[in-house]
Amino acid sequence: MRYYLEAIWKYASFTGRAARRAFWWFMLLHLSIIVALTAFEVWRGHPPDPMNPSLVLSAYQLFILLPLLALTVRRLHDTNRSGWWILLNLVPVIGQLLLLWFMLISGDRRDNRYGPDPLAAVRLNT
């Protein structure tokens, strides 16, 4: 929950870095909320319909769009890549798989041009 709220608080911060753990915990909670909202809509008798989207689910996705973009850019920065790499999402399949790979690999263990290592304090304590 901490990483989810942190991403919400930094909703417009496209600078700095985000650790792999922060990104994936955010995504886990984000996808859980989407599943819960979809289940709620099905329970209400409104199954998912692309031509008639749910107002509740659409509102949530609109609310979370900017924090998700900012977190993805910060995660790219952690791998020492420009935030412009997020445009790979526009390339079907191959671009999306490559972006997924960037989200899965570990970040730089040193400071890079985007800022200090977000896990440096954790590594010093172990």
More confident residue, 106 or 48: 106
Quick one: pLDDT at residue 90? Answer: 94
Q: Is residue 18 packed enough to be buried (19+ CB in 10 Å), middle (13-18) or exposed (0-12)?
A: buried
Segment 40-62 mean pLDDT: 87
Structural domain harbouring 49: 2-125
Quick one: pLDDT at residue 1? Answer: 84
- In the chain, the number of structural domains is 1
In the chain, % of residues over pLDDT 90: 66
Quick one: pLDDT at residue 64? Answer: 96
pLDDT tens figures, 86-122: 999 999 999 999 999 999 999 888 889 998 888 876 6
Q: Which residues fall within 8 angstroms of residue 67, CB to CB, at 6 or more apart?
A: 7, 8, 10, 11
Gap between the Cα atoms of 30 and 90, Å rounded = 21
Q: Is residue 26 packed enough to be buried (19+ CB in 10 Å), middle (13-18) or exposed (0-12)?
A: buried
Task: Determine the residue type at 106.
Answer: S
Grade residue 125 by pLDDT with cuts at 50, 70 and 90.
Answer: low
In the chain, % of residues over pLDDT 70: 95
Collapsed DSSP state (helix, strand, coil) of residue 47: coil
Alpha helices (H) in 44-113, listed in sequence order: 55-78, 94-104
Quick one: pLDDT at residue 109? Answer: 87
Record the pTM.
0.86
More confident residue, 47 or 89: 89
CB environment 42-71: b (16+ within 10 A), e (fewer): eeeebeeeeeeebeebeebbeebeebbbbb
